[in-house]
Amino acid sequence: MKVKMISRNPDNYVRETKLEHHKMARNYDPALHPLEGPREYVRALNATKLDRVFAKPFVCNLSGHRDGVSCFGKHPKQLSQLATGAYDGEVRIWDLANRTSSRHFVAHDGFVRGVAYAPDGKLIYTVGDDKTIKVWKADAPDVGEEEEPVNTILSRYGLHGISHNRKGNSFATCGEVCAVWDEKHNDPIKTLKWGVDTLHTISYNPVETDILACCASDRSIILYDQREAQPLRKIVLTMKSNKLSWNPMEAFNFTVANEDCNLYTFDTRKLQTPLKVHFDHVSAVTDVDYSPTGKEFVSASYDKTVRIYNAHHSHSRDIYHTKRMQHVVCVAWSLDNRYVFSGSDEMNVRMWKANASEKLGVIRPRERVNFNYQEALKQKYAAHPQIKRIARHRQVPRHVMNAQRKMRLVKDKEQVKEANVRKHSKKGKVPYVSEKKKHVIKEEV
C-alpha cells in the first residue's frame, strides 16, 4: 500500500527565536474563509466608526495678527511657508513646521487686499487699500536691516486683488479695472474693463496661463485673455460672487463662492448653466480654494464654518468649526494636499487636516496597508444605511442648525407656493426650472 498523511514539520510554522516575526501560513482558498460578506460588512462598519472616532481635524492655531486676517499667499515651492495679510496692513510669514511666525512687516496703510508669490518663490507681491503694489523679498532681511519693499508701484486705481501668472513673469491686479503688469515695468501692460463696477477678485488660470477670471460687484464673473484687447465673456448670477478658484487639474472648470450661501462650479465652455451647485452653507460664502488634486475644494463662510466639498458633489463632505472661530474670511488648501488653512475675523489662522481622521506622523507600511484596506471597505459598503448614517453624521453648531432649519422652511414654502401658482394657471405657463438654471441670469459675449 502507498500511504501518505499530513505531517507538518513545526519548523516551517514556528519561529526559531523571539527576534523573528511569527510565521503566518496563508491559504486564500475561499472555503477556509466562510461568511466573507458579513465579516467584511462588520469590518467596514468598524472602519467607519473608527473614522469618526479619530476625526480630530484641528491641528493648530497660528496667532500673532493684531487684526482680522484678510488673505493668504501660498508659497509655490515650500510647503512650510505661508504668507497672510491682515486688515491692519500687516503681512506675516509663517513657518508652518514650527508653527511660528517667522517674519512680519507692515506692508500697507489700511487692508492688505492680496498676497501672491512669484512662481519661483523669491518675491512676494502685496496689494492694499493704499493703491500700491509692493514687492518684497521672500527671504527675511539680515539682522539689523529694515524690512523694505524691493519695489513699490503706485496704481492709479484702487486695488482689490492680485494674482501671479504661474508660468510667465506677468501678474494681474483688479480693482476698478483689470490690469496686467509685467514684473519689470511700473506701468500696466494692459488694462481691461467691462462695465463700471469694481472687480474684487482675480485669478489666473493655472494651465492656460493667459486666461484670467474676475468677479465683479455687479454680480458678474468676467473671463479675460491677457493677449486680447477685449474681455472674453461675462455671466451674471443672481447674487455677487466673492471669490473664484480654478480647478488645477481640470483647468477648464472653476468654482465661485457666492453671496447666496452656495458655490457654483462652471465649465468655461458652457457658462449658461453651472456644472454643479454646492449647497450646505447657511451664510455668504467668502472664499474657496481647490486641492492640488482638483478633486475637492474647501470653502469658508460668514457662518463661521469651513466646509470641504467633492468637486462633483453638491453637498459637503465635511464641516470644520470651533467655538472661537468667527466669520471665516479666507481659506487655502496646502500644496501637499494634507492641510487646510483658514483665516478668520478674530485674528487667528487655523490649520486643519484635509482629511479629518488621517493619522499624522510616520506611518509604517503595515499600517498603511491597513488604512488602504479600511478605505476600500468603506467605499464598498458605503451604500448600506447604517454605514451611510454614521459616515454622514456631523455635529454642527446650534446657530448653523437653526439657520439650516429656517432655510429649509423657506425653501419648502417657496415650493408650495410655486406648486399652487402652477395649479391655478394655464398649463405650461409656470415652467419647471431646475435648480442649476435658476442662478445664472445671463451670459454676455
Partner 1 sequence: MTKKAPKGRPKPKTTFKRYFDSAKPENNDLEAVKPLKRKSQQNFVGDFIKMQNKIKKEKPRKASIKPKPKGKLKEETEEEAQAKRNPIPQELLDKYSRGEKVEAKGVKTRHFKEQQTRREKYLEYAVEQAARTELLLHETAGQLEADEGEVTAEYRQGQIADNVDLQSAAKHFSLNMEFGPYHMRYTKNGRHLLLGGRRGHIAAFDWVTKKLHCEFNAMESIEDVQWLHVNTMFAVAQKSWVYFYDNKGTELHCVKRLARVNRLDFLPYHFLLAAGNTAGYASWLDVSIGELVGNFQTNLGDIRIMRHNPSNGVLCIGGGKGVVSMWSPKVREPLAKLLCHSTAMSALAVDPRGQHLVTAGLDRAVKVWDVRNLVQDKPLAHFQLRLPANELDVSQRGMLALSQGTYLETYADMLSGGGTGNYEKLPYLRQRCDAFVHGLRFCPYEDVLGVSTAKGFQSLLVPGSGEPNFDAMEANPYETSKQRREHEVHALLEKIPPELITLNPHEITGVDAPTLQEKIDAKRKLFHLKPPKINMKSRHKMKGKGGSANAARNKQIVKDLKRKEFIAEVREAKKSVIKEHTAKEDGAVAKTKKPKPSVLDRFKPKPPKKQKT
Q: Which residues bind partner 1 (CB under 8 A)?
A: 1-8, 10, 12-14, 22-43, 46, 270-272, 365, 368-369, 372-373, 376, 384, 443, 445
Residue given cell 505661508 in the structure block: 82
Q: How many CA atoms within 13 Å lie on the side-chain side of 416?
A: 6
CB of 48 to partner 1, least distance (A): 13
CB of 384 to partner 1, least distance (A): 8
CB of 211 to partner 1, least distance (A): 17
Of the pair 66, 388, the CB lying nearest partner 1 is at 388
Of the candidates 204, 205, 153, 154, the one whose C-alpha atom is nearest the C-alpha of residue 178 is: 204
Q: State the burial class of residue 67 (Cβ atoms within 10 Å of its Cβ: 0-12, 13-18, 19+).
A: middle
CB of 28 to partner 1, least distance (A): 5
Q: Which three cell numbers stand for residue 238?
A: 443672481
Of the pair 29, 146, the CB lying nearest partner 1 is at 29
What is the C-alpha to C-alpha distance for residues 107 and 104, in angstroms, rounded to an integer?
A: 9
Of the pair 25, 433, the CB lying nearest partner 1 is at 25
Of the pair 365, 431, the CB lying nearest partner 1 is at 365
CB of 90 to partner 1, least distance (A): 41
CB of 42 to partner 1, least distance (A): 5
| CB-CB neighbours of 287 under 10 Å | 24
Of the pair 34, 361, the CB lying nearest partner 1 is at 34
Of the pair 196, 445, the CB lying nearest partner 1 is at 445
Of the pair 100, 372, the CB lying nearest partner 1 is at 372
Of the pair 36, 146, the CB lying nearest partner 1 is at 36
Cα-based distances in Å from 214 to 171, 173, 300, 384 = 13, 10, 19, 43
Of the candidates 103, 224, 105, 111, the one whose C-alpha atom is nearest the C-alpha of residue 163 is: 224
CB of 61 to partner 1, least distance (A): 32
DSSP track, 65-131: -SS-EEEEEE-SS-TTEEEEEETTSEEEEEETTTTEEEEEEE--SS-EEEEEE-TTSSEEEEEETTS
Q: State the burial class of residue 343 (Cβ atoms within 10 Å of its Cβ: 0-12, 13-18, 19+).
A: buried
DSSP track, 156-210: SS-EEEEEE-SSSSEEEEEESSEEEEETT-SSEEEEE--SSSPEEEEEE-SSSTT
Of the pair 151, 272, the CB lying nearest partner 1 is at 272
Of the pair 56, 270, the CB lying nearest partner 1 is at 270
- Bin 99: left if φ > 0, else alpha if -120 < ψ < 50, else beta: left
CB of 40 to partner 1, least distance (A): 8
Q: State the burial class of residue 210 (Cβ atoms within 10 Å of its Cβ: 0-12, 13-18, 19+).
A: middle
At 327, the amino acid letter reads H
CB of 22 to partner 1, least distance (A): 6
Of the pair 42, 189, the CB lying nearest partner 1 is at 42
What is the C-alpha to C-alpha distance for residues 367 and 158, in angstroms, rounded to an integer?
A: 54
CB of 183 to partner 1, least distance (A): 30
Residue given cell 461568511 in the structure block: 35
Q: Residue 144: what are its φ and ψ, rounded to 5°?
A: 90, -20
CB of 130 to partner 1, least distance (A): 41
Question: Using CA of residue 334, residue 339, residue 340, residue 343, what is the dihedral sign?
Answer: negative
Q: State the burial class of residue 70 (Cβ atoms within 10 Å of its Cβ: 0-12, 13-18, 19+).
A: buried
Instruction: Spell out the alpha helix ranges (H) of 251-323.
Output: none
